[in-house]
Structure 1
Amino acid sequence: MGRVAEIVRQIGWYWGSLMGDNHYRRYVEHHRKTHPGEVVLSEREYWRMRHDATEASPNPRCC
């Protein structure tokens, strides 16, 4: 049963990645590493920025 549980966990992680569930967490990790001392956007501000940036460019990145 352990192998099946691992496969289900991996599928869940993959699906979550496709749906954007971990984007904000990855943003926070990246921002803290590459821009120390700067304010990190709240999750709401982050999604608003992504939405607004996507309208202008399909692949918004800070760096």
Structure 2
Amino acid sequence: MRTVRRVWGAVRWYARELTGEAECDRYCDRHRRHHPHAPVPTRREYEALRTLRREEHPQSRCC
């Protein structure tokens, strides 16, 4: 049973990292620490902020 939980935990971690859900959680945690009285953005608001940030600060990558 312990092995099944470990494997499931690893799969869950990978899926959250792949979909960006973990990144949203990290952002919300940081937001709560630095702005304790401000409302925490929803997932939809976070995605909109992330999209705006990427459009305003494009990064070109080589290789």
Q: When the two structures are superposed, what TM-score results if normalisation uses the length of structure 1? A: 0.66
Shift >4 Å, 4+ stretches: none
Consecutive unaligned residues of structure 1, counting only runs of 5 or more, are none
User: Where in structure 2 are there 5+ consecutive unaligned residues?
Assistant: none
Alignment root-mean-square deviation, CA = 2.1
Alignment partner, residue 18 of structure 1: 18
One-letter identity of the residue aligned with 2:52: D
Aligned residues: 59
Between 1 and 2, higher relative CO (CA 8 Å, sep ≥ 6) is seen in: 2
Partner of 2:40: 40
In 1, distance between residues paired with 2:42 and 2:4?
A: 36
Taking structure 2 as the reference length, what is the TM-score of the superposition?
Answer: 0.66
What does the per-residue CA deviation read over 1:3-54, in whole Å, with 9 as the maximum and x for residues that have no partner?
Answer: 1331232122123112202222222211111122123222211111101111
Corresponding residue of 2:4: 4
Percent identity between the aligned chains?
32
Q: How far, CA to CA, are the matches of 2:17 and 2:58 in structure 1?
A: 17
Q: For residue 54 of structure 2, what is the amino acid of its counterpart?
A: T
* Partner-residue secondary structure (3-state), 1:51: helix
Point out the structure with max Rg over C-alpha: 2
Q: Distance in 2 between matches of 1:18 and 1:6?
A: 18
